[in-house]
Amino acid sequence: MDWGQITMVKQIINEEINKENKKTLEELSKAGYTPKDIKNFIESLHRQKNYTSEPLELGKNKIRIGVSGDYHMGNINYDTSLMDFYAQETKRLKVDLHLNTGDLFDGWYQNRPASIFEQNAIGFDRQIDKATKELSKLEAPIYFITGNHSYNTFVRGAGIEAGPYLEDKLKSKGLEAHYLGNGEGNLILENKVKIRLLHPDGGTCYAVSYRPQKIIESLESGQKPQALFIGHFHKMDYMFYRNIHQFQTGTFCGQTKFMKGKGIPAHKGFWIIDIYAKSDGEIRPLIARMYPAYK
């Protein structure tokens, strides 16, 4: 094949690619997506991450944080009145920041089509919009991770990680928001305190504290955080073990039909925690306020 033939083949291939690209763009436009939406989607792909560490400088040795997780926005059991109370109480007590341990979204499991009957916001766009509206009630900066409901549905089903989208949406509302990754995220305070947000996978256990205990036992010495906040299990508890202050962060979602069938309770509620730290990163003391919203 001579050079002229090679050039002609390249032109034909490029024309076919351009036709396919044009067709794809037309289909996306018919579905209601703008060029800006497509640009945001591409940018979010570049910003997907498993976990990250982010330094946080507050310039003081005391920090007050609001901690919660497992909202499952989009599920009919999500409790918007609990969010209202959380927003009110964290404003009253003037928290420095909010931490969220994942599963902000209920997602949509295509292999469980009947799950849509337990949702009042179906699909990626509606759940992002709902989360943006609800989290806009908060004033302090928000640091969050995403969990298995986002990864198992939005990422595996469509290749979209919801975290960067939500961060951008909240920033467009004038809020400070930081997406730290899927499943795990870390904050390093100015006084060397390391905080880890964790959303493990797998089922719960017969004993509330069993899974957190095994997670802490698995952490390598020298790599441990001083404070560990765990979501996913929809439980609330506190345990000091291996010099780690561990909290299960509860949920804003009531017991679902799935949980009822498995005999799994939902511990609705949140925490407001004061952390005092020495210059070497040692926490002394830690004062926790537990706000249970279940009986």
CATH number at residue 210: 3.60.21.10
Expressed in angstroms, the distance from the first to the final Cα of the chain is: 78
Q: What pLDDT, on a 0 to 100 scale, did the predictor assign at position 111?
A: 76
Q: How far apart are CA 152 and CA 181, in angstroms?
A: 14
Whether residue 111 lies inside any domain: the answer is yes
> What string of pLDDT tens digits covers the 295 residues of the chain?
555 555 665 565 566 656 666 776 677 677 766 776 666 666 655 565 655 677 777 767 889 999 999 999 999 999 999 999 999 999 999 999 999 999 999 998 877 777 788 999 999 999 999 999 999 999 999 999 999 988 888 888 778 889 999 999 999 999 999 999 999 999 988 778 899 999 998 888 878 999 999 999 999 988 899 999 999 999 999 999 999 999 999 999 999 888 888 888 999 999 999 999 887 778 889 999 999 998 7
Residue pair 101/197 in contact (Cβ under 8 Å)? The answer is: yes
Q: What pLDDT, on a 0 to 100 scale, did the predictor assign at position 52?
A: 63
Q: What pLDDT, on a 0 to 100 scale, did the predictor assign at position 50?
A: 59
SS3 31: coil
Whether residue 106 lies inside any domain: the answer is yes
How many domains in the chain?
A: 1
Secondary-structure breakdown of the chain: helix, strand, coil percentages, each rounded to the nearest 5? 35, 25, 35
Q: What pLDDT, on a 0 to 100 scale, did the predictor assign at position 250?
A: 97
Whether residue 3 lies inside any domain: the answer is no
Whether residue 109 lies inside any domain: the answer is yes
Whether residue 18 lies inside any domain: the answer is no
Closest by CA to 291, choosing from 85, 98, 141, is 85
Domain span at residue 79 reads: 51-292
Whether residue 87 lies inside any domain: the answer is yes
Q: What pLDDT, on a 0 to 100 scale, did the predictor assign at position 117?
A: 87
Whether residue 4 lies inside any domain: the answer is no
Whether residue 184 lies inside any domain: the answer is yes
